[in-house]
Each structure stands twice: as structure tokens, then as C-alpha cells.
Amino acid sequence: MRRLPLLLAAGALALTGACQQPALAAEKVVEAPAAQRTAKESGGLKTAIFAGGCFWGVEAVFSHTKGVTSAVSGYHGGTQRQAQYKLVSSGVTDHVEAVKVTYDPKVIRYDQLLRIFFSVVIDPTLKNRQGPDRGPHYNAELVPVSAEQRAVASAYLAQLKKSGKWDRPIVTSIEPARTFYAAEEYHQDFAAKNPRHGYIVRWDAPKVAALKRLYPGVYRSEFKRD
């Protein structure tokens, strides 16, 4: 199992906002409804950005999704100078942990990615936290990068709020696209490289298992590495 660089690992473990928190109650899986407003994206590969708590799990789920050609963990917003894990995980910057997903719309549509995201990746009723992680850098956000994606995301979010699938109000927001900075190399493909890491076993492997169970038609057994 690949270990974090010692200095960074020690610093991250000391921070309350790092992807290293002890296990709490199990996350709830909710099968979100299929989108009424489907995406119409022509041409080649497309990209979209999803912020959903610790980026390890977001990346793991989309890396097991058919049609996704790349899933890169990183930091959305903020400045380039501060786009580093030790700072972002302390909660003092304006970044959120996010994943930049590249996908083939002929294989999987943006609205289908949204359905997966809300079903198995996040709890959309939580603000500035997901799972065991706390802080604004763990906020769940949709970051569409085109007018079509924004229209689809807006329609889907409105649909979910009327669906009655969740017991509490949905607070996940749609944010304007800002600069995305790729995270450090050791964060990329983290779940595939560290399958026995305690955080991966407790929080992220169940998300991948839920993807397989709920959406077997789009589940890919192999992890798509960058």
C-alpha cells in the first residue's frame, strides 16, 4: 500500500478536515430518480467537475463508471499558490476538493453522472461536510462547465427537491466554473493504489459497491486509471 509522504501525512492527520477521520455512522444510499431533462451533448469527449467531500471516493466511483475516460482529483477555486493538500485540508483556503471527470456522452450522459453522484457519492442534505469530514472544503457542489450542463443540473436539482427521496432539504448547490488544480500525484487513483487503506475500506469501497448494485449497466469492474 502506498503511504503518504511522512511529513504530509503527519500534518494531515493532525488536521480536523483531512480525509483521515475515524468511522462514524454508515452513509445512506438513496436511489435518485432518472432525470426528466436528459443531456444533449454532441461532439467528442466532455468534462464536468463534481465536488462531493473527500475526493478519493468521488474519483473511485467515477473511475468505475463506463464511459468515463478520466477522473482527476483536485482543488476547485481558490488560488494556484494555495492549491496544495496541507493548506486546503486545513480549511483556510477558498478551494473545495473536487474531481474533474472526462466522459464520452455517447456512452454515458451528464444527467446519468448526476444520478450516480446523488445516489451513491454524496448526501445532498449536508452542508460543508460529507461522511466523517467537516469543513467548507468538503462541501458538495455541482460545477457545470457548459450551458447544457448547467441547464441539466438546474432541472435535475429542482426535480430532486420535489422527489421526496430525502428526509431533509437538499442543500447541494450549483457553482460557477473556476480554475481546477490537479491534486498531488499520490492522491490520483488513490483507492486503486490503496485498497486496504482504512478510509477507503470504510467510506469509499461501499460507494463503489452501491454503484455496482444500483446501476450494473454502467458499472465497470476495472478502475480506469489516469
Residues 6+ apart with CB under 8 A from 86: 8, 11, 12, 15
Output the CA torsion sign for 33, 174, 153, 208: negative
| Cα(197)–Cα(210) distance, integer angstroms | 19
Listed in sequence order, the residues at least 6 apart from 181 whose beta carbon sits closer than 8 Å to its beta carbon are 74, 75, 76, 78, 80, 83, 95
- Phi/psi of residue 174, nearest 5 degrees: -105, 125
Q: Tell me which residue has cell 509522504.
A: 5
CB 183 within 8 A of CB 98: no
Terminal alpha carbon distance of the chain: 18
| CB contact at 8 A, 116 and 157 | no
Residue 160 CB neighbour total at 10 angstroms: 21
Catalytic residue among 12, 18, 19, 54: 54
Catalytic residue status for 54 = yes
* C-alpha count within 13 angstroms, C-beta hemisphere, residue 197: 22
* Catalytic residue set: 54
